[in-house]
Structure 1
Amino acid sequence: MSRTKSVSTKPLILSVAISSILAGQAFAQEEAAEEASQGGFEQIIITAQKRSESLQETPLAVSAFTGDELREDGVASVEDIGSRTPGLVFAAFSVGQPEIAIRGIGTKEDGAAASDSTVISVDDVYIAARTAQVFDIFDLERVEVLRGPQGTLYGKNSIGGSINFITSKPTEDVTARGRLTVGEYGRFDLGGMISGGLSENLLGKFSFSNRNYDGHITNIHTGETHDDRETMAWRGQLHYFMTDDLSFVLTVDGADDDIGDTYRVPVGSAGDSVDNNANNPLAVDAAFGSAGNPYLAANDEIGATDRTVEGYALKVNWETEDFTFASITSYRESDFLWWEDSEGLPGLSSFNPAVDPQFGFRRDVTDTAVERTVQFTQELRLVSPGGEKFDWVVGLFYSKEKIDRTESFCIPNCGFNVIPQEQIDYAPGATRIPSNFIISKSIQANDSISWAAYGQGTYKINDDLKLTAGLRYSYEEKDVEFGGDIDDGVVAAGVFIQENFWVTDSDDWGNVSGRVVLDWQAMDDVMIYGSISNGFKSGGYIGSPSTPERAVQSYDEETAINYEIGFKSFLFDSTVKLNTALFYTDYSDLQVTRFAQLADNPTNPFGEFITENAASADIQGLEVEFAWMATDNLEFGGSYAYLDATYKDFTPNVANLAPGGGTLPCAEGDNAVSTNPADGCIPDFSGKTLRQAPENMLHVYARYFHDMGDAGSLKAKVSYRFQDDSFYDPDNNDITVIPDYTLWDAQLSWSDTDDNWLITAWVKNLTDEEYRTHVYSQRNSQIAFANFGAPRTYGVTIEYTF
């Protein structure tokens, strides 16, 4: 399955040619059409460029989803957004470590001093903490996904793109909505919203979402499901109009998540982990009876996640004849506790690697993380009225973040929720190694300050041609403290963390990013644009450094320049919507994270994480979004993404440990540092595919509407999703891959004539596809473990609105 791709422009050229031909045919047919319009798609108004404007007239690659669409499809997470957005791939090592990649640009590093590749914001408030970025999606007006570098208006860490959640606002008239969902595996969700005027100048709204799920993965030792979920999220808003031109919006929100085990399933072994013994995770999995079934788990320590989030935001909006002034002030804090058996197997009962696999997994380890994050942001913005000869936006941004994180690696487990040995079918005479036999703790603290100044202007050359240009200066400083602690276990041994230490360091990064766009309104409903834009992601520090020397080695920022041509259109009396984007991205100084045994740290038996600036990459692709209203009752739509994302030059700075513990010659394709194998091997990843970069992604749907008169109406919808295989290690090895998969969803809903009641029966993963959602490796990619998506589930959702 592993392969090396060569960069080819043929698929892109062919796709552009086909799009051009179709567009030309559409223009001719539209001009020739004489029949009456059968209705069409409405414009979606977005604020991606910090002003209200039509999606179809915004010269950006943007996917926008309205609140009605999200509720119709039961969208509840960023993962659900990813399945509908071309080029967006969502994965997660844990609930608190989302890995979001847009066009192959993403982040694996999870340390306190790491930066993300995609900006996530709610109502213009940037969410800094990765442990708080994946939250319940509810009560939204829309979601906007900006694809590609957004350095001008969004700044640092938007090198991949930006995901903006816009919540619904308080209304003058009293409105309310309630939602109840019941489904398989004990699913029981409640949600609601009430909004209305509280006085002549004051509007208010309160909304909440409570979701419960008993789980679908059975622990083979206890016979119980432990992947249960109970989440509660809420939001309150007050909108006060001091005058007709001056208003204040106060938002308070919170969340409390109690999430069970996320489980791991062994999926690969190589090297010294292929024999039928305790070194081989696949053999251990089979010995305890869970092999081949991703919904059976053999781990002996049951993991969990406990997370609380609260936030406060005040937005001031002052409108004048010459400009609109906006001030957005926010404060957020979050607490995160998580632990997980990293291999999903019972802990070892012997250090002898040759013993029977039913003695347990010799390399078993539990990973835990405790993190507290506090964030303050302030943005000031001036926006011109719009529709003038020259439109502009200028702003200042400031943020202060404090993250304290402790990550522990316990061998064989941490003792939080361990299944008693007598409940596990170990080999006769086995005596399990005690909890916390070896503990390695990585203590991390990061205080960062960043600020930016930006401006963007659009000059209308004529009625059909506009030129947009913008610049942003960004600065960030990180003050870090790192500690290593190996003294708390039964045995003080250096595994992962090699010694006790405490060090401090600081570094800073500055960047000027910009954007130039020329857009042409070729026809009333057809716009073509070309743009050059760049973005950057701040530098940082390795999350769990093994030594004090490694801890103070910061890595540099990464940058990307994106060249893009786009086409947006409404055709055939607005019954067809076709948007395309063709792009090439020159990606430099990639921050690549890998887990390996390193030559300069040969006594570390498990390996360690390291993040380096060791690569450049070429990324090119095509994205298409389409919708067709075939009749008044029948609609088709979806999206397609083609992506070719490869390392142009990637030979790491730090050598891997040579095979045989540093005694054997380097593997084929690796370069020996010297004639002495102990000096290690430098792998060459040039030409390999970037992680989370599937070559093809396709999402299509069909929706049918049937009016039954006084009996109400029926709506049926079927959707299909395909994702190509994608790699999760830079060497593109066969065991750390998510194979291609397809998913089908279906639903049937009824609504009354007044649209007060909506009852929907739904099925997710209709064909019961077994598919991976994340995979990671250990020991130089010799063993791999994966998470899997949910099996087929079904249920009913009832909504009442008045």
Structure 2
Amino acid sequence: MLNKAAQWLSSGAFIGAALLSTAANAQVAATETGQSTDQADGIADIVVTAQRRAENVQDVPIAISTFNGALLEHANISSLQDLQGRTPGLVINSFSPGQPEIAIRGVGTKEDGAGASDSTLVMVDGVYFATRTATNLDIFDLEQVEVLRGPQGTLFGKNAIAGVINYVTKKPTLGEFDLKVRQSVGNFGTFDTGAGVNIPIGDTLAVRLSFSRRATDGYLTRVDVGTPALPFGTEDADDIGFADRFAWRAAIKWEPSDATSLLISLDGANDDFGTDNREPVGSAGPLHNCGCASDPVAVNTAVGGASGKHGGVYSYAGDILGFSKRDIFGGMAQLDHDFGFATLTVLGAYRDSTFKNALDSAGLPPSPIIDLTGAHGNPNIKLTAPANVGFTFDSIDIVDERGEQLTGEVRLTSPAAQRFKWVAGIFASREDIDRTETVGFPALSGVSLDPNLVAASMFFTGKSIAGYGQASFDITDTLTITGGARYSYEKKEIGARNDVLGSPDIMLLLAPFGLTRGEDSWTNFSWRISGQYRPSNDVMIYANVSTGFKSGGFTGTATTALRATSSFDPEKATNYEVGAKLDLLNRRLRLNTSAFYIDYSDLQVTRFFQPPTSGFGEFITENAANAEIKGIEVELTARPIEWLEFGGTYAYLDANYKDFFGTPDISGNGDFSGNRMRQAPKNVWSAYVQLSHELPSGDVLTANVSGRYQGKVFTNADNNRLDVIRSYTLGDAWVSWRSENSKWEVQGWVKNFTDKAWGTHVYTQRGNRIAFGTFGPPRQYGATLTFNY
């Protein structure tokens, strides 16, 4: 295995050597021309906390992407989904607004049950979020967002096998009063308001308060299918797909001395989303290519759902008006004290979240009731009825989830200005999640002629504790080695119950069983070794080997009691990586590259498939034997002259299951060896150009145009032709005027200016013979007014 890794990474080493030569030549040229090395004329330093201390990102031997607060605001980045395409290797599929599936370098978690762990940690100021439904936060009042790529198995509270997304909030600042207010308006009824204020109280105390409210009427239109839609939430037929989000944060900082500081913060959010459309995107035989009521594509055309803009992907023909509602509350306290030899950090946090969701999984009206037992005979409707009667296999999905978590961490961090630097700490957490997922089939029944309705409930408790340490030693002024280790213990306990609420004489998805319990625990030792070489202040070459671990778990929405209480195994990864971080041409060109090889074992794979024993399908999470991932990532920023900046990113990814023999589906096939991994596009790139011009008055005009491309994405292990998010290219643009004193700024913006219909999620049912997709917003445009004081 080491030989394979060495062969792959040799190409990265060659790139690094070539770049090192280029850097040396560039430095000579800069010295000879006498160009200024003043940072104001070039690309500014970026400070990150990826190694639990404040460091220049160019000094950290990890692949990191950063987005500062100004960039987030100007690009109208308001959610995790907006970071996709701008970050190499990051892919986010969203089944609903509150359930993002995050993957980095092809590593992600499809399983959304309470008993599974995510591959990517989403954190706010170092506090991770245990429930996935709480992770898609409103992005507002931030210093920056940091995205760490690759296993982070040493320093973070939970082992992050794919990477970490860390939101760094703006903190209270002593001795300074500042106020910022923004107001945006746009098409689709967009009306966004936000504000943040910093209030100093004496010399040692400061408070920061902020909020964000984002509202839109939605971009979906209702298709008249002849019958009124059943409202599940507060939505009506004239307000399809609305969104109303409110988030707030309050923080207080106390610094009684230069050595001691205390930060206490509270935050909350209340989100209310309307219907999001599930569009039929494919069907195949047998049965589902009949052009009849069992063919979702034919039904969509027959009822008018395929007409209109972009073939109807922004029109909704479902029979219910669904919703997503989410309430989040959290608090944290962090005490830091500098003892001289080290800084002690004590952190404690509490988080609470609720999520409720109801949606039409097919986006179609159901056909009249069909008796699958045949007891009623004709004239009971048949599966092959005409398409205009509605969809025979229509389904609805209802989720009710509540989560609580407690986390605590104690760590010691040595001073940065010494040859030997170290961090050591202890972390512990407890998570309690109750989740019920109800699936209904409005057109399918048994003898009772009651629509089939089943509910799977899981009551989950997770506990973890870990001890970790990492140390770096400067062997010379140019060479540093780093080693780290972490020992983790995790225990998961679940109670599970399945209830059949409709026809009891047919089983489409779940078998009924009473409350049953299961538990399991796992231990792991993760480690990291890296070396970095800095021949000059502007060039850093690094190489590292790191391991990652994700604990095992339990399948959510399991079909039987045995499957619900049988745990799947942990997954492990070893990452071999080389990279270069270069500031060239007197800091007017920044080029960061990395090449990696990841060896995976027991990769957890979630599938929705139809075994011979099921009439519709079922969920399963099982361990793939092995997988390997190879890739190259590049990030470029250039500022050749003061008024021009451009840059971009590129990621190449080759991610495949080496040998994966899963549970066979109805076709008898369970061999997925050699298939491409989920959420692993081969090519992803982004690019931007920004121009600035200072007027004689001192006012500044700025214009920015950007684009991003994502290649084809498979969403299931079998690489079925229907289970694909097709490649797309999106473009955004904005122009702004900023006053000479920077108090006022007016910005006009447009997102997706080519009005592209782009996929965000695809899933299949019935043995991969019918497929449904969700799509991102069409063209959006508007204006934003910002006031700073």
Residue 534 of structure 2 aligns with which residue?
521
- The structure 1 residue matched to 2:716, chosen from 729, 740, 744, is 729
2:163 equivalent in structure 1: 161
Where in structure 2 are the equivalents of 1:651-666 lying within 5 Å? 651-652=661-662, 654-658=663-667
Does residue 698 in structure 1 map to residue 685 in structure 2? yes
Could you tell me which residue of structure 1 aligns to residue 373 of structure 2? none
Q: Is the 8 A contact 2:270 2:327 kept in 1?
A: yes
Deviation of the 1:29 alpha carbon: 3.0
Which of 286, 296, 306 is the matching residue for 1:281?
A: 296
Aligned residue in 1 for 2:146: 144
| Partner residue in 1 for 2:233 | none
What is the 5 A alignment of 1:10-159? 17=14, 20-33=17-30, 34-37=32-35, 39-154=41-156, 156-159=158-161
2:593 is matched with which residue: 570, 577, 580?
Answer: 580
Seen in structure 2, the aligned counterparts of structure 1 residues 261 and 12 have a Cα distance that, compared at 3 Å, is farther
Cα distance change of structure 1 residues 728 and 648 upon mapping to structure 2, 3 Å threshold = same
Separation (CA, whole Å) in 1 of partners of 2:742 and 2:583:
28
Paired with 1:644 and 1:297, the residues of 2 have a C-alpha distance of 36
TM-superposed CA distance for 1:73, in Å, is 1.1
Distance of 1:575 and 1:630 partners within structure 2: 5
Aligned-partner residue type, residue 734 of structure 1 = R
Deviations 1:266-302 (A, max 9, x none): 0011122101111110000010112222111110111
- Residue 32 of structure 1 and its aligned partner are, at CA, apart by 2.3
Which residue identity lines up with residue 564 of structure 1 in the other structure?
E
1:598 matched to 2:601: no
**Match for residue 204 of structure 1 among 207, 213, 225:** 207
Change (3 A) 1:9 1:73: farther
- Aligned pairs for 1:557-568 within 5 A: 557-568=570-581
Code of the residue aligned with 2:745 in structure 1: it is: L
Counterpart residue number, 2:566: 553
1:639 is matched with which residue? 649
Residue among 356, 369, 375 paired with 2:386? 356
Question: Which of 314, 330, 338 does residue 357 from structure 2 map onto?
Answer: 338
d(CA) in 2 for partners of 1:533, 1:25: 29
Distance 1:434 1:30 in 2: 81
Is the 2:23–2:539 Cα contact (8 Å) retained in structure 1?
no
What residue is the counterpart of 1:535 in the other structure?
548
Q: CA deviation at 1:360?
A: 0.6
Amino acid of the structure 2 residue aligned with 1:60: I
Q: Is 1:249 matched up with 2:263?
A: yes
Identity %: 43
Q: Secondary structure at the match of 1:630?
A: strand
Q: 1:283 to 1:84 in 2, by over 3 A?
A: same
| Contact residue 236 and residue 251 of structure 1 kept, 8 A | yes
Opposite residue 183 of structure 2, the aligned amino acid is L
1:673 maps to which residue?
none
- Secondary structure class of the residue paired with 1:101: strand
> Which residue number corresponds to residue 666 of structure 1?
none
Partner Cα separation in structure 2 for residue 153 and residue 15 of structure 1? 26
Q: 2:107 aligns to what SS in structure 1?
A: coil
Give the Cα–Cα distance (whole angstroms) in 2 for the partners of residues 87 and 698 of structure 1.
Answer: 10
Do residues 571 (structure 1) and 571 (structure 2) align? no
Retained in 2: the 8 A contact 1:709–1:753?
A: no
Who is 2:187 aligned against? Answer: 184
For the 8 Å contact 2:12–2:579, the answer to whether it is kept is no
Gaps of 5+ in 2: 229-236, 371-381
Structure 2 CA distance for partners of 1:524 and 1:366, relative to 1, 3 Å: same
Residue 237 of structure 1: aligned partner: 251
Mapped to 1, the partners of 2:192 and 2:443 lie a distance apart of 33
Please list every run of 5 or more consecutive structure 1 residues that lacks an aligned counterpart in the other structure: 1-6, 415-430, 659-680
* Deviation sequence 1:381-425 (CA, Å, 0-9, x none): 1000112121000000000000001110112189xxxxxxxxxxx
Quote the offset at 1:18 in angstroms. 5.5
Q: Paired residue for 2:471, among 452, 457, 469?
A: 457
Say whether the 8 Å CA contact 1:155–1:474 is kept in structure 2: no
Q: For residues 177-208 of structure 1, what are the alpha-carbon distances to aligned partners after superposition, in whole Å with 9 as ceiling and x for unaligned?
A: 00100001000000000002123321000000
Between the aligned partners of 1:9 and 1:534, the Cα distance in structure 2 is 16
Give distance in 2, aligned partners of 1:12 and 1:702.
32
Task: Give, in whole Å, the separation in 2 of the partners of 1:715 and 1:647.
Answer: 46
| Two-structure CA RMSD over aligned residues (Å) | 2.0
Q: Secondary structure at the match of 2:697?
A: helix
Instruction: Name the CA distance, whole Å, in 2 between partners of 1:121 and 1:561.
Output: 23
Deviation at 1:758, TM superposition (A): 1.0
SS of 2:82 mapped into structure 1: helix
Partner of residue 661, structure 1: none
Q: Does the 8 Å CA contact 1:117/1:158 hold for their aligned counterparts?
A: yes
Distance 1:763 1:725 in 2: 25
**Aligned equivalents of 2:593 and 2:520: distance in 1?**
40
For the residues of structure 1 that align with 2:55 and 2:44, how far apart are their CA atoms? 13
Sort the Cα spacing of 1:435 and 1:74 in 2 relative to 1 into closer, same or farther, 3 A.
farther
- Residue 624 of structure 2 is matched in structure 1 by 614
Q: 1:698, 1:183 → 2: CA distance?
A: 28
Residues in 2 aligned to 1:380 and 1:794: alpha-carbon distance in whole angstroms: 46
Q: Which moved more, 1:16-25 or 1:89-98?
A: 16-25
| Cα separation, partners in 2 of 1:349 and 1:638, compared to 1, 3 Å | same
Counterpart-to-counterpart distance in 1, 2:709 and 2:545: 30
Name the SS of the counterpart of 2:301 in structure 1.
Answer: helix
Q: 707, 725, 728: which is aligned to 1:720?
A: 707
Q: Is the 8 A contact 2:16 2:541 kept in 1?
A: no
User: Counterpart amino acid of 2:207?
Assistant: G
Deviation string, structure 1 residues 560-600 (Cα, Å, up to 9, x no partner): 0000001001000000000001000001101101011124x
The 3-state SS of whatever aligns with 1:28 is helix
Q: Aligned to 1:285, what secondary structure does the other structure show?
A: helix
